[in-house]
Amino acid sequence: MKNDATQKTAGIVLTACVLLNFSIGVLYAWSVIKSKLMAPISAGGWEWTSSQAGLPYNITIIVFATAMLFGGRLQDKIGPSRVVMAGGILAGIGMILSGLVGNSVLGLILCFGVITGTGMGFGYGSVTPPALKWFHSGKKGLISGLVVAGFGISAVFYAPLTTALLSRLGIQTTLLYIGIGVLITSVTISLFIKNPPPGYIPPEPARIKQSATKTTPAVDYTRMEMLKTKRFYLMFVMFLLTASVGLMFIGSMTRIAQTQTRITDAAVLAMLVAFLAIMNTAGRVIGGMISDKIGRVKTLYLIFIVQMLNMGAFMFYQNLPMLILGIIGVGFCFGTLLSVFPALTADQYGLKNIGANYGIMFMAWGFAGIVAPVIANNLYDRYGTFNTAYIICAIMMAGMILVNYLLQKDIAARSKVA
């Protein structure tokens, strides 16, 4: 009976972690907001350039990752619930203030980029660690995938909602209303997120078998110990450059569709953003499960190869069916990345300090916001296409195959020593 009650609690915590990420996932609706900011004043827009409209998004990513670093360390010390609640409050208030500052690039950078970004980082960084601690280590890929899937799938809700509100209420009121919703839901959900009791040992699944991911370290690394290892920097570079590809598409999806397929219907554009979110979510869950079966490194090889080929061909996706095919590749690979890296970090450096350790690793995701997305926006403003950006992305993915090989060798050498 006690075990049943414990598993019920584990299920509640996992569900709350997924829903918390869902509630704060407004970042993935920015593509819709960006298009409205760039629209003519006669159409309710503010006539911003692509670079201007991308700035709040880029700053949000950097602040998000930085806040996750501090939020992860803080939840390691005081538990996740209060950190998650603070994150929900900041995320909601930042959106509300974004709706009050008016037509101001600096205003949206400060309110959405800094305040909402901080809130999202606190929340996102404080839900994966407790979820992992409630379940057996053989499920790290699946559990981390489920938790981060909440953030990815949120665009399926936020993209059409934002599109509908923008068409009826305009930019400012839309941001205001979404902020109120984020504030109420995230604070409520935070009450159900907690760590397991001291001494808790997750039950072993009935039919578990040895997998390629069995790399649990003999000791739990501190963040300083982790930073002294070669494999940390190899992982960091892979995370940074691969995430930058996905973030470029998430921030510019509607503009890419408008440029390459001439689609202008707002409902169709919102559908594409939502479809990207679905593929992103599928990658987080399915990719996490695959990595539990075949290993993290082999899974990374797969996504680097697929993304390299996809980027090399993306400029030729000139109609809706081909664009959808490209979105499948981008979304699934990006989602897989976000479930593999928290699990890989836990594999290599332990669970005790996972909040702080993955917070540092996640800084790669933050820096990714100023690599491909910024390059792509500037190239688009100059040439009116994203073709050069696609070529750069394909070259980066080819390089990541080599870096992953070096990581594989480093992990193998460490295993022999151990």
Domain chopping of the chain, boundaries: 7-198+219-417
As a whole number, the mean pLDDT across the chain is 88
Please report which confidence band the pLDDT of residue 4 belongs to, taking 50, 70 and 90 as the band edges: low
Please report which confidence band the pLDDT of residue 1 belongs to, taking 50, 70 and 90 as the band edges: very low
CA proximity to 132, closest of 179, 180, 76: 76
Say if residue 138's pLDDT is above 90. Answer: no
Q: What are the tens digits of pLDDT across the range 53-88?
A: 888 988 998 899 889 888 888 888 888 999 999 999
pLDDT score of 115: 97
Alpha helices in 350-386 (DSSP H): 354-361, 363-368, 372-383
pLDDT score of 76: 82
8 Å CB contact between 37 and 251: no
Burial of 6 (0-12, 13-18, 19+ CB in 10 A): middle
pLDDT score of 205: 64
Query: What's the average model confidence in pLDDT over 39-55?
Result: 88
Least confident of 25-34, 199-208, 307-316, 359-368: 199-208
pLDDT score of 5: 58
Q: What are the tens digits of pLDDT across the range 402-418?
A: 999 999 999 988 876 55
Query: What's the average model confidence in pLDDT over 23-41?
Result: 87
Q: What are the tens digits of pLDDT across the range 256-313?
A: 888 898 888 878 887 888 888 889 889 988 998 899 889 999 999 999 999 999 999 9
How much helix, strand and coil, in percent to the nearest 5, is found in the chain? 80, 0, 20
Query: What's the average model confidence in pLDDT over 213-232?
Result: 79
Least confident of 125-134, 140-149, 199-208: 199-208
Higher pLDDT, 372 or 115: 115
Distance CA 70, CA 125 (A): 8
Residues 6+ positions from 109 with CB-CB distance below 8 Å: 55, 56, 59
Residues of the chain above pLDDT 70, percent: 95
The first and second tokens of residue 174, run together, are 């839309």
Say if residue 133's pLDDT is above 70. Answer: yes
pLDDT score of 254: 81
Q: What is 7-198+219-417's CATH topology?
A: Growth Hormone; Chain: A; (1.20.1250)
CA distances in angstroms from 73 to 60, 83, 122, 129, 204, listed in the order given: 20, 10, 10, 11, 28
pLDDT score of 218: 52
Distance CA 324, CA 275 (A): 8
